[in-house]
């Protein structure tokens, strides 16, 4: 029992799929605010109501985006919906007519100043800053005692700390890569979209209380750009399997690292991220050892050449994957449902 078709789904296509799936299972769907679709005319009315609901949803989203963009250009903090580390978000008070605002939390602001000082003045890396904060037991916003380099990097790149919070920094786009979470699910992602950073020219600046000076913030951004160009981990010469190798034990991707022998010869390895102690609170979560880059790439290249010389191997692999998919639990369950429906029709 559903209040109206748009409460079942705002997308008309989803409504049709769901109602048909319920019908196959012998479940009747009743809409309280819509006539029962027993005649072609009532079926058409139900379909029109679904399409209008989808159009209404698109209109609401567009008006909401326009309204938020207008308030952001007017300098309203309410469109941000929250505050980063170092600030407290004060909600809008409709009774007093006060708009939302940011209040500086002195204890957290001192930690932010310390991060910028360690990075810009003392020249520490993100990893060393992380180790310093963790060794001192400084809590994060959520109360955890362990910081991550990605969190500190986000703080050092956030323009809100120089007094200019930005709206519209990201946008929803189709997912472009397979993440570790989707790999653990067999390559399936429950969300078809993800956040992507928009060009800085499209950001809308909103004035907020500054924690550091604009000169210090810009100096930090210059260091980020310089380190990005000169970092030793920067892949100047791409490898054959760059971004393609995944650990079979923990599903983390492998990255390339370099070591030197006694003869000062460079040897490159593919190393699993799950074997790095500094990335996890309780140490490494994977026991796989690094793999020599030249050994692995030579083995993979031999297999590629073999596939090119024997196309039948590709056909056999496709047939094997097809059989695995056909014999999966979801496929067998669907086959049982179809057989049950056919038997009921025949009876």
What is the CATH T-level fold of the domain 78-168+203-230, as seen in this structure? Answer: Hect, E3 ligase catalytic domain fold (3.90.1750)
Sketch the domain layout of the chain as residue ranges: 5-74, 78-168+203-230, 245-300, 310-347
Mean pLDDT, range 88-106, rounded to an integer: 85
CA distance 213 to 184: 43
CA distance 154 to 48: 46
Query: Helices (DSSP H) in the chain: which residue ranges?
Result: 5-8, 12-24, 40-73, 106-120, 126-136, 149-156, 180-184, 214-230, 293-309, 311-326, 329-346
Per-residue model confidence (pLDDT) at position 148: 87
Q: Evaluate whether 90 touches 101 at the Cβ level (below 8 Å).
A: yes
Nearest alpha-carbon partner for 121 in 29, 12, 223, 256: 223
CA distance 218 to 203: 17
Mean pLDDT, range 16-20, rounded to an integer: 84
Average pLDDT over all residues of the chain: 83
Predicted structure pTM score: 0.65
Q: How many CB atoms lie within 10 A of CB 183?
A: 17
Nearest alpha-carbon partner for 151 in 164, 136, 139, 166: 139
DSSP 8-state assignment for residue 2: B
The residues, any chain, with a CB within 8 Å of residue 215's CB and separated by 6 or more, are none
Per-residue model confidence (pLDDT) at position 344: 65
> Which H helix or E strand runs over 259?
strand 254-260
CA distance 162 to 220: 11
The residue with greater pLDDT, 286 or 96, is 286
CA distance 139 to 160: 21
Is it the case that residue 158 has pLDDT exceeding 90? yes
Alpha-carbon radius of gyration of the chain: 28
Q: How would you write 106-133 as a 3-class SS string? A: HHHHHHHHHHHHHHHCCCCCHHHHHHHH
Q: For 80, left (φ over 0), alpha (ψ -120 to 50), or beta?
A: alpha
Per-residue model confidence (pLDDT) at position 199: 87
Per-residue model confidence (pLDDT) at position 32: 84
Q: Evaluate whether 339 touches 346 at the Cβ level (below 8 Å).
A: no
Is it the case that residue 321 has pLDDT exceeding 60? yes
Q: What is the pLDDT of residues 277-312, one digit of tens each?
A: 877 777 888 988 999 998 999 999 998 888 888 888
Q: Percentage of the chain surpassing pLDDT 90?
A: 26
| 302: exposed, middle or buried (Cβ count in 10 Å: 0-12, 13-18, 19+) | exposed
């Amino acid at each position: 029992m559903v209040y109206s078709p748009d409460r079942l789904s705002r997308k008309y296509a989803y409504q049709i799929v769901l109602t048909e799936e319920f019908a196959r299972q012998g479940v009747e769907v009743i809409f309280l605010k819509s006539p029962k679709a027993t005649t072609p005319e009532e079926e058409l009315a139900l379909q029109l109501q679904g399409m209008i609901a989808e159009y209404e949803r698109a209109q609401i989203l567009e008006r909401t985006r326009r309204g938020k963009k207008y308030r952001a250009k007017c300098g309203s903090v309410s469109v941000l919906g929250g505050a980063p580390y170092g600030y407290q978000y004060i909600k809008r008070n409709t009774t007093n007519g006060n708009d939302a605002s940011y209040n500086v939390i002195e204890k957290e602001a001192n930690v932010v100043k310390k991060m910028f000082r360690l990075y810009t003045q003392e020249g520490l890396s993100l990893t060393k800053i992380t180790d310093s904060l963790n060794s001192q037991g400084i809590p994060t916003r959520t109360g955890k005692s362990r910081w991550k380099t990605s969190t500190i990097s986000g703080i050092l790149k956030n323009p809100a700390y120089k007094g200019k919070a930005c709206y519209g920094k990201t946008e929803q786009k189709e997912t472009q890569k397979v993440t570790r979470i989707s790999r653990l699910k067999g390559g399936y992602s429950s969300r078809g979209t993800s956040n992507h950073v928009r060009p800085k020219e499209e950001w809308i600046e909103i004035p907020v209380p500054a924690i550091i000076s604009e000169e210090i913030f810009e100096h930090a951004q210059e260091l980020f750009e310089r380190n990005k160009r000169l970092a030793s981990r920067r892949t100047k010469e791409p490898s054959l399997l760059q971004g393609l190798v995944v650990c079979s034990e923990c599903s983390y991707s492998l990255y390339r690292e370099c070591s030197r022998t006694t003869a000062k010869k460079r040897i490159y390895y593919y190393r699993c991220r799950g074997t790095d102690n500094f990335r996890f609170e309780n140490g490494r979560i994977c026991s796989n050892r690094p793999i020599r880059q030249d050994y692995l790439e030579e083995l993979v290249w031999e297999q590629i050449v073999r596939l090119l010389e024997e196309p039948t191997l590709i056909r056999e692999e496709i047939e094997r994957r097809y059989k695995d998919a056909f014999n999966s639990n979801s496929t067998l369950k669907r086959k049982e449902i179809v057989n049950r429906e056919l038997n009921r029709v025949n009876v």
